[in-house]
Amino acid sequence: MNKPMKEIILSPEQSDKLAGIYTAMVEGYDQVATAIGLSCQGCPDNCCDSYFLHHTYSEWAYLWQGLRELPDEERKAIIGRAEQYVQESRAQLAGQQRPQIKCPLLNEDGLCGLYNHRLLVCRMHGIPATMTRPDGQSMRFPGCFRCQEIVSDDKKYPQGKDAPAMDRTPLFREMVALESNLLVDKRHLLPRVKLTIAEMIVQGPPAVDTPFCER
């Protein structure tokens, strides 16, 4: 017998909070990208086939919020592509290969079919960034290959590390706070999230096994 599950849904305030974090990420990204002169226009790569894992229930729930707003046919087509993605990625991983498969949300025009609900990684990948972890350790991310080419060619940045970088720390802290707020009384019932977008789609919206007393 299947256990009864209760969907994890963002309240309107939590949705607004996440949308605000996402907007701040995009603004921070644009500032650094402009300073460096990085644009995705005409890029020979397409990050939308990169293999990324995502880690929050908040983003998973927000993704599903967006999927539900799509026309049924469109959503069904995305779910079909996601199922195929999951199958292919598992096969590639089993062959010790890092999967490189188009995101199921990419539409026929090569554009993101759920742009306003795309995930954190989709908004941050590309530019150099820094982050201070909760244990105090500092991290620096060099940006995508095109960004690294620009930075290394540019005489303004004799050391790559001199290039402008976005500090992810405050926005990641806000994400952590939002996640705690969403999971407040359920965290102990939930496994850690480590899923591709395709897996988030195929598994359906996030849900928690309801304790016996709430059934």
Question: Which residues sit at the interface with ligand SF4, rule CB under 6 A?
Answer: 40, 43, 45-48, 103, 105-106, 112, 114, 118, 122, 125-126, 144-147, 197
CB nearer to ligand SF4: give 17 or 126. 126
Show the tokens assigned to 7: 């969907």
Work out how close the CB of 140 gets to ligand SF4 at its nearest, in angstroms, rounded to a whole number. 17
Strands 138-141 and 166-167: unpaired
| H or E element, residue 197 | helix 197-202
Give the C-alpha separation, 104 to 18, whole Å: 22
Work out how close the CB of 49 gets to ligand SF4 at its nearest, in angstroms, rounded to a whole number. 8
| H or E element, residue 89 | helix 72-94
Work out how close the CB of 66 gets to ligand SF4 at its nearest, in angstroms, rounded to a whole number. 10
Contacts of residue 128, Cβ cutoff 8 Å, sequence gap at least 6: 32, 36, 140, 141, 142, 143, 147, 151, 160, 163, 164, 165, 166
CB nearer to ligand SF4: give 6 or 55. 55
Work out how close the CB of 127 gets to ligand SF4 at its nearest, in angstroms, rounded to a whole number. 8
Work out how close the CB of 52 gets to ligand SF4 at its nearest, in angstroms, rounded to a whole number. 7
CB nearer to ligand SF4: give 38 or 183. 38
Give the C-alpha separation, 38 to 18, whole Å: 26
Work out how close the CB of 215 gets to ligand SF4 at its nearest, in angstroms, rounded to a whole number. 35
Give the C-alpha separation, 9 to 183, whole Å: 10
CB nearer to ligand SF4: give 147 or 178. 147
E strand intervals along 104-176: 129-132, 138-141, 166-167
CB nearer to ligand SF4: give 8 or 103. 103
CB nearer to ligand SF4: give 110 or 158. 110
